[in-house]
Amino acid sequence: MGLVTIVILSIGLVFSIQRVRRLEVEVTKMRAETGYLQETDPGQIAAARAPSDQPLTYRVRVRVPNGPARFRVAYSSVWPKRSSGPQWFGAVALPEGESVVTIRILEDPRDKKWKIASLVASVEGNQRMATVLPPDHVGVFRGSHDVLSTGVGRETQTADQTDSLRLLDERWLVGEGGLLLYGDRAPETDQVGIYAELQPDVGPL
């Protein structure tokens, strides 16, 4: 009886190990498909890039702490020459906890105008905002150009809640404006791209 009990327990243990391994593979696959934020300190903001299979569509999973502080995601398609950062077009408020931020360049079927659109999806619902693009920006995004990406990556990035996180920094290298780029150094000409930043919701953009 003792030997039979040991055999039965061993078989059960083998099946349990195989099930756990299958679940681990499924969890890893889901994280790769939807983006994953590692655990962070309660007072920090965090972000990680999520996959996207649509052209001119960018997804980032973000987390902001609970509390009185408010946060927003600002977006733009231009970094003006000799300025320290993008010229923000608008911003969407972020709810507490985790959200998925989607930034898209698309032609609005309602009015046939090309826009940069921001969508924040969370358990509380969806919030949207869009801005019509300048005609010359539309030409850049519809063309074939190299892109320099320096925003957040797949690994979780964090910052104090009083700081900002550059979620997207996708710079289209067009003409002379794409020849010399030095990180965050102010560009010598207007730099067209897709920019988004998680920032404290205080003061004007």
Indicate whether 176 and 141 sit together in one domain.
Answer: yes
**Is 107 found in the same domain as 6?**
no
Same domain, 69 and 126: yes
Task: Evaluate whether residue 88 is within a structural domain.
Answer: yes
Q: How many CB atoms lie within 10 A of CB 174?
A: 18
In a domain, 71, yes or no: yes
Does 28 lie in the same domain as 76? no
Same domain, 70 and 112: yes
Question: Which of 25-29, 72-76, 82-86, 183-187 bottoms out in mean pLDDT, i.e. has the lowest?
Answer: 25-29
Return the SS3 of 161: coil
Kindly state whether residues 24 and 78 are assigned to the same domain: no
Q: 143 pLDDT exceeds 60?
A: yes
pLDDT above 90: percentage of residues in the chain: 55
Q: Give Cα 183 to chain centroid, integer Å.
A: 19
Q: Are residues 14 and 101 in the same domain?
A: no
Q: List the domain range (segments joined by +) for residue 91.
A: 44-200
Q: What are phi and psi of 89, to 5 degrees?
A: -80, -40
Residue 205 in any domain: the answer is no
| Residue 158 vs residues 21, 38, 39, 41, 205: alpha-carbon distances, Å | 30, 10, 10, 9, 21
Residue identified by tokens 């890893």 is 28
Alpha helix locations (H) across 55-203? 135-142
Residues 118 and 28 in one domain: no
- 18 C-beta neighbours (distance < 10 Å), count: 10
Interval 47-62: pLDDT, tens:
999 988 899 999 999 9
Q: Is residue 132 a part of any domain in this protein?
A: yes
Tell me: do 152 and 189 sit in the same domain.
Answer: yes
Q: What is the mean pLDDT of residues 122-127?
A: 90
pLDDT at residue 186 above 90? no
pLDDT score at 187: 65
For residue 54, give both structure tokens: 């649509």
C-alpha pair distances (Å), 78 with each of 15, 113, 130, 138, 183: 56, 18, 15, 12, 15
Question: Residue 127: which of 196, 172, 72 has the closest Cα?
Answer: 72
Q: 101 lies in a domain?
A: yes
Rounded alpha-carbon distances, angstroms, from residue 26 to 19, 21, 30, 31, 84 = 11, 9, 6, 9, 43
Q: Please, what is the average pLDDT of the chain?
A: 85
**How many domains does one find in the chain?**
2
Is residue 39, in this structure, part of any structural domain at all?
A: no
Judgement on whether residues 134 and 158 belong to the same structural domain of the protein: yes
Do 171 and 181 contact (CB within 8 A), yes or no?
yes
Q: How confident is the model at residue 82 (pLDDT cuts 50, 70, 90)?
A: confident
pLDDT value of position 166:
96
Q: 101 and 17, same structural domain?
A: no
